[in-house]
């Protein structure tokens, strides 16, 4: 082959490739199948979903979408077929019962490998979701949630034991390198509270959904046992003859984080790109491995429970006993999928929220004092309180709501597909197949609702007269049939965790810098360094 021919072929191939790429990028813009051309938004986002994927991978999706709303107003096109709508009145239309919207392909990126069936969160089929939701809603009824309280109190007992130990060490000026490092200055101990809230939340959900705590609070480390491979691997394994499962120790908190970031980015990309990325890009390959490891946790726990039936009162027992309308219980694969869903949905949601609330209460000493005055008056001592003692404390509730508003753990606009026949939202008609979302982070910063001090942590706004507008705009648990099914449990946990922390300790921030965050599916604090001192009463 002569050089001239080789060069010409290369140029030709390059030209065809460039043309094909240009056509791929421009075609949806030119054809505009969802009639969204007049919706404003960043120029690149109108052409390709890579704009949204890039900011998702950077962990800044909600912040960037928020900036676009400040620039363009209520409607912003954040991907060629996706419009973000900043309007609380759009919540019932986009997420409510009866409008026919469904979860889009985005949620396929959250399906666990090695389990065999989808869990409640990533089920997209309406009938399948209704069946599962009826079963799981019963499990989370308030009566059941209250019966889980002893598990939460036990974990909190271990949590304060560890913090007390470090407070004493801090007074002796000792220090340690674990959990991001801690040091005592003779008065306080200075530490990163994020890993501790993670250990606490994971131990609680491990105890409730998997039959026993992961043991993170005892070990002071991120460690859990996972089955290797999927359910099929369980049957063949000779590793543990009594349970017939082969397990490895995995850092559950780390893999859950990796999995959240991986799935939230992957979900934004076209489905055909996904296998290519997991094959050739190490970051995606690592994310996929995390998804597998996470499934292994649930596989191991459910296999253990099925092999050794137990009298425990926990989520797993309630799921085992639950039946659908036809009287059928959940099969082993469905049980595994739901236990895994609860681990994923119920762990770092709670720990990220607890950590952010601790940050803001520490940052505003006036709020901390007022909260402690309410807790001191209501609680006889500084041990772990009961839910009964806390459930009617208005300032505690206001502190939690304000933390959920300002931090917005679930921050992104959760995407939904417009059904056949189209949908009118806030005076705009959207054709079938368009993706819509209402961005919670932006709703929680709407100055016309929250006032000019929207960036200030001010729990008093929850105790003021006119609550109608702010309640309508407050969206931490989402809306409608796909809203958080674990909301009652989440609120009880947050009340117990925040009250225990601030009744027992005085908390200062090491630095007043803004809370650094990174968003995967959830918006997570990256760390939160505080100075702890046991209060003397």
The site for ligand HEM (CB under 6 A) is made up of 120-121, 133, 205, 341-342, 345-346, 349-350, 353, 409-410, 414, 476-478, 482-486, 489-490
Decide: 55 and 22 in contact? Cβ < 8 Å: no
- In the complex, minimum distance from the CB of residue 132 to ligand HEM, in angstroms, rounded to a whole number: 7
Of 491 and 509, which has the nearer Cβ to ligand HEM?
491
Residue 225 parent element (H or E): strand 224-227
From CA 97, how far away is CA 341, in angstroms rounded? 22
Q: How many CA atoms lie within 13 A of 447 on its CB side?
A: 7
CA distance 473 to 42: 26
Q: Which is nearer to ligand HEM, 138 or 244 (CB)?
A: 138
220 and 162 Cβ atoms separated by less than 8 Å: yes
User: From the CB of 465, what's the least distance to ligand HEM, in Å?
Assistant: 27
Give the shortest CB-343-to-ligand HEM separation in angstroms: 8
Is 220 annotated as belonging to a binding site? no
Cβ nearer to ligand HEM, comparing 433 with 481: 481
CA distance 275 to 264: 15
> Minimum distance between the CB of residue 480 and ligand HEM, rounded to whole angstroms?
9
Q: Tell the smallest beta-carbon distance from residue 331 to ligand HEM (Å).
A: 18
Q: Minimal distance in Å, beta carbon 303 to ligand HEM?
A: 20
Inter-residue contact 259 to 291 (CB < 8 Å): yes
Q: What is the CA radius of gyration of the chain?
A: 25
Q: Smaller CB distance to ligand HEM: residue 189 or 205? A: 205
Decide whether 233 or 483 has the Cβ nearer to ligand HEM: 483
In 3D, which of 34, 38, 102 has the Cα closest to residue 430?
A: 34
Instruction: Based on DSSP, count helices (H) and strands (E) in the chain, helices before strands.
Output: 24, 15
The residue among 369, 375, 370, 442 whose CA lies nearest residue 411 is 442
CB nearer ligand HEM, residue 255 or residue 357: 357
Going by C-alpha positions, the residue among 198, 529, 158 that lies closest to residue 354 is 198
| CB distance 449 to 469 below 8 Å | yes
Annotated binding site: 484
* Residue stretches of the annotated binding site for heme: 484
């Amino acid at each position: 082959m002569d050089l001239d021919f080789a060069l010409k072929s290369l140029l030709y191939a390059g030209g065809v490739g460039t043309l094909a790429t240009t056509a791929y990028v421009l075609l949806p813009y030119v054809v505009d199948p969802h009639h969204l051309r007049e919706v404003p938004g960043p120029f690149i986002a109108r052409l390709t979903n890579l704009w949204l994927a890039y900011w998702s991978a950077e962990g800044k999706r909600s912040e960037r979408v928020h900036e676009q709303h400040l620039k363009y107003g209520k409607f912003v096109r954040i991907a060629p077929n996706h419009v973000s709508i900043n309007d609380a009145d759009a919540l019932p239309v986009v997420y409510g019962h009866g409008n026919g919207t469904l979860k889009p392909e985005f949620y396929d990126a959250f399906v666990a490998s090695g389990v065999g069936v989808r869990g409640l969160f990533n089920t997209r089929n309406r009938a399948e979701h209704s069946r599962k939701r009826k079963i799981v809603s019963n499990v989370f009824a308030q009566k059941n949630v209250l019966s889980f309280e002893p598990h939460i109190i036990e974990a909190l007992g271990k949590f304060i034991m560890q913090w007390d130990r470090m407070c004493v060490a801090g007074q002796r000026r000792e220090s340690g390198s674990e959990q991001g490092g801690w040091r005592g200055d003779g008065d306080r101990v200075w530490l990163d509270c994020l890993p501790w809230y993670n250990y606490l939340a994971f131990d609680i959900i491990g105890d409730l959904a998997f039959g026993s705590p992961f043991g993170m609070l005892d070990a002071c480390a991120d460690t859990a046992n996972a089955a290797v491979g999927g359910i099929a691997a369980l049957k063949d394994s000779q590793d543990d003859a009594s349970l017939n499962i082969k397990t490895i120790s995995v850092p559950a908190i780390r893999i859950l984080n990796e999995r959240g970031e991986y799935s939230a980015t992957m979900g934004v990309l076209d489905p055909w790109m996904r296998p290519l990325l997991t094959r050739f890009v190490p970051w995606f390959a690592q994310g996929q491995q995390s998804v597998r490891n996470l499934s292994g946790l649930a596989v191991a726990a459910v296999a253990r429970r099925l092999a050794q039936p137990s009298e425990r009162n926990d989520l797993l027992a309630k799921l085992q006993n639950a039946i659908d309308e036809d009287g059928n219980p959940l099969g082993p694969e469905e049980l595994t999928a739901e236990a895994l869903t609860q681990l994923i949905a119920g762990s770092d949601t709670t720990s990220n929220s607890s950590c952010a609330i601790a940050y803001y209460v520490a940052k505003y000493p006036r709020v901390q004092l007022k909260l402690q005055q309410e807790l001191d008056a209501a609680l006889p001592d500084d041990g772990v309180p009961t839910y009964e003692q806390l459930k009617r404390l208005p300032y505690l509730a206001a502190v939690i709501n304000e933390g959920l508003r300002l931090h917005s753990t679930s921050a992104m606009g959760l995407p939904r597909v417009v059904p056949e026949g189209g949908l009118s939202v806030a005076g705009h008609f959207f054709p079938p197949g368009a993706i819509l979302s209402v961005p919670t982070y932006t709703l929680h910063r709407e100055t016309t609702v929250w006032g000019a001090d929207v960036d200030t942590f001010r729990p008093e706004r929850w105790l003021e007269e006119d609550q109608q507008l702010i309640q309508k705009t407050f969206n931490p648990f989402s809306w409608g049939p796909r809203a958080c099914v674990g909301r009652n449990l989440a609120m009880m946990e947050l009340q117990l965790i925040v009250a225990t922390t601030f009744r027992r300790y005085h908390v200062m921030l090491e630095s007043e810098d803004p809370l650094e965050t990174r968003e995967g599916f959830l918006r997570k604090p990256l760390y939160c360094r505080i100075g702890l001192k046991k209060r003397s009463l």
